[in-house]
């Protein structure tokens, strides 16, 4: 945050005193990386500049931040991305995301890690299938998988996040690098079996898996000196079980987005607001 504040301050000083400055010569140079939570997959309107496979929206939180701050945005967010896609092409014709990160970047944001080892999607799919098999009763997912999802996050996802953040910082040594946590998908307890087919006893289990993921993101940011944008408190009460206009994440059934279990436009705008608050922007 200090680096970003220094860039903004330098630009303001340059404008006030009329001194030439590379920081004052143009808008904030902003690069957006990350997965479908960064890309706002399923939210309209789609980004015509994006590869079709990436399902990127112009209502994603990077576009909201850029519009609010006047930043010059380079957006390479892509649905389905994991940390490996920072270093390798995700699809044919889609360059590694790190290729977009240049030395003159001043701000880099991302939401990443949920797709590593397919933990996020597997936990939701497996818990949903288990919940349907018991008619929403008991905790069949927890009973079957135990700590396996969380173990993978701690042993595999966390070091992958550290590697990715360090690579971004090496590519843009003067940039403020920020990584967002994931807004809550499930409430603490109870659930909503008609919209999220997760057994009642597995609702806290699935939320615990996401809490472990967000903690891995937090710890990776702390280990690398990146800025962590905590979504836990601000997204509480806005999970996929809430009604339209309250929820930030869409449910599996009765939702409004083509891509389920992903942020809607309201969620993306709130992710942008929280990032700007933490970063001191806007």
With respect to residue 215, please indicate whether it lies within any of the assigned structural domains. Answer: yes
Q: In 3-state terms, what secondary structure has residue 254?
A: coil
Instruction: Encode pLDDT of 122-160 as tens digits.
Output: 999 999 999 999 999 999 999 999 999 999 999 999 999
Question: Residue range 21-36: average pLDDT?
Answer: 81
With respect to residue 9, please indicate whether it lies within any of the assigned structural domains. Answer: no
Please tell me the predicted confidence (pLDDT) of residue 12.
38
Please tell me the predicted confidence (pLDDT) of residue 1.
54
Percent with pLDDT over 70 in the chain: 91
Token pair belonging to 128: 């949903």
Residue that is written with structure tokens 């590869």 in the block = 51
Residue by residue, DSSP assigns 126-149 as HHHHHHHHTTT-S-HHHHHHTTHH
Percent with pLDDT over 90 in the chain: 90
- Is residue 23 very low, low, confident or very high in pLDDT (cuts 50, 70, 90)? very low
With respect to residue 124, please indicate whether it lies within any of the assigned structural domains. Answer: yes
With respect to residue 227, please indicate whether it lies within any of the assigned structural domains. Answer: yes
Residue that is written with structure tokens 């290729």 in the block = 99
Cα distance between residue 282 and residue 269, in whole Å: 13
Instruction: Encode pLDDT of 203-232 as tens digits.
Output: 999 999 999 999 999 999 999 999 999 999
- Of 71, 84, 82, 89, nearest to 111 by C-alpha is 82
Q: How many domains does the chain have?
A: 1
With respect to residue 8, please indicate whether it lies within any of the assigned structural domains. Answer: no
Please tell me the predicted confidence (pLDDT) of residue 189.
96
CB atoms < 10 A from the CB of 173, how many?
Answer: 11
The number of C-alpha atoms within 13 Å of 231 and in the hemisphere containing its C-beta is: 29
User: Hey, which residues are catalytic here?
Assistant: 36, 262
Classify residue 154 by its DSSP letter: I
The answer to whether the beta carbons of residues 245 and 237 sit under 8 Å apart is no
CATH number at residue 46: 3.40.50.1110
With respect to residue 102, please indicate whether it lies within any of the assigned structural domains. Answer: yes
With respect to residue 15, please indicate whether it lies within any of the assigned structural domains. Answer: no
- Is residue 10 very low, low, confident or very high in pLDDT (cuts 50, 70, 90)? very low
CB atoms < 10 A from the CB of 93, how many?
Answer: 8
Please tell me the predicted confidence (pLDDT) of residue 282.
72
Domain that holds residue 181: 25-279
Please tell me the predicted confidence (pLDDT) of residue 20.
35
With respect to residue 13, please indicate whether it lies within any of the assigned structural domains. Answer: no
Integer angstrom CA distances of residue 282 from 29, 30, 58, 279: 15, 14, 19, 9
């Amino acid at each position: 945050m200090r680096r970003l504040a220094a860039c903004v301050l330098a630009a303001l000083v340059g404008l006030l005193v009329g001194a030439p400055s590379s920081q004052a010569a143009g808008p904030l140079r902003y690069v957006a990386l990350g997965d479908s939570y960064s890309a706002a997959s399923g939210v309209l309107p789609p980004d015509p500049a994006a590869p079709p496979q990436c399902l990127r929206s112009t209502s994603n939180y990077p576009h909201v931040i850029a519009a609010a701050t006047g930043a010059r945005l380079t957006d390479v967010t892509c649905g389905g991305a994991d940390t490996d896609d920072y270093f390798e092409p995700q699809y044919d014709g889609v360059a590694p995301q790190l290729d977009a990160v240049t030395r003159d970047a001043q701000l880099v944001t991302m939401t990443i890690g949920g797709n590593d080892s397919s933990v996020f999607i597997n936990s939701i799919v497996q818990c949903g299938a288990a919940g349907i098999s018991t008619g929403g009763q008991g905790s069949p997912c927890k009973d079957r998988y135990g700590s396996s999802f969380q173990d993978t996050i701690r042993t595999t996802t966390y070091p992958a996040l550290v590697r990715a953040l360090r690579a971004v910082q090496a590519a843009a040594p003067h940039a403020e690098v920020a990584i967002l946590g994931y807004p809550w998908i499930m409430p603490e307890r109870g659930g909503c079996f008609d919209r999220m087919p997760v057994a009642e006893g597995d609702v806290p289990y699935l939320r615990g898996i996401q809490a472990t993921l967000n903690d891995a993101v937090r710890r990776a940011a702390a280990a690398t000196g990146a800025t962590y944008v905590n979504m836990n408190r601000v997204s509480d009460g806005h999970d996929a079980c809430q009604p339209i206009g309250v929820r930030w994440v869409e449910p599996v059934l009765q939702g409004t987005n083509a891509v389920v279990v992903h942020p809607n436009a309201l969620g993306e705008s709130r992710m942008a607001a929280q990032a700007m608050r933490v970063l001191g922007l806007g």
